Chain A
């Protein structure tokens, strides 16, 4: 069974631009969550989707948004990029809501110049 797939793996943007990251969960998993990892703040929860509905949202500004499609694939978008948005963005999937057993992808590393 294929794991969680995130694209692109690496990208470089400049301040003010926007970026879209994609996540394909493990087949059969309907819950997708996103995390941001930076050296200073560590791993922080962004948001979680189940059946195309956002269930939880972390403490991030509105520039960070996401969505989930009917096939459970998810995208997250960051608009008006700032230097501090440089991070590893991780997607995780789970077969059910309420489970702490998540399967993470390898992440998308975003660098903002």
Chain B
């Protein structure tokens, strides 16, 4: 799986959009971008994933650049409960299994 690079920490004001970047410059054509988050003392939570098109669900939006070398997770109206570590993961889908390779992630602090 391709390596990802994320800033170690970010702050965001409550109610504002949180934009979390991820660099995956070595991504290959069959690798998807996944985002998870982990709130303190809980298990990671799946947020969203995509291949090349932008994706949106009830939690967030995922913007993938046209060359697929980077992506941004957008939390449109961050709340205090969004304070967590956010992980960007790149992986191949299919029979390779369900293994996820977690990096260091970005610690997002939402402030009032």
Contact = CB atoms under 8 A, between A and B. Distances in A.
Interface of A: 4, 31, 33, 35, 42-45, 48, 55-56, 58, 90, 92, 94, 97-107
Nearest to B103: A42
Question: What does DSSP make chain B's interface, helix, strand, loop or mixed?
Answer: loop
Interface residues of B, number: 24
Question: What does DSSP make chain A's interface, helix, strand, loop or mixed?
Answer: strand
B68 interface: no
Contact of A43 (B42, B44, B46): B44
A90 B43 contact: yes
Contacts of A98: 93-98
Contact of A106 (B42, B46, B102): B42
Given A4-B43, A90-B43, A107-B43, A102 B93 contact: no
Contacts of A4: 43
Interface of B: 32, 34, 41-46, 49, 87, 89, 91, 93-104
B43 A48 contact: no
A56 B102 contact: no
Contact of A42 (B46, B49, B99, B102): B102
Top 3 nearest A-B pairs (CB, nearest first) are A104-B43, A43-B102, A98-B94
A102 B100 contact: yes
A102 B98 contact: yes
Given A42-B102, A43-B102, A103 B97 contact: no
A102 B101 contact: no
Nearest to A32: B98
Contacts of B98: 31, 33, 48, 92, 94, 97-100, 102
A45 B103 CA distance: 12
25 contacts: A4-B43, A31-B98, A35-B100, A35-B102, A42-B103, A42-B104, A43-B100, A44-B102, A48-B99, A56-B97, A56-B99, A58-B99, A90-B44, A92-B43, A92-B44, A92-B98, A94-B98, A98-B93, A98-B95, A100-B89, A100-B91, A100-B93, A102-B100, A103-B46, A104-B43
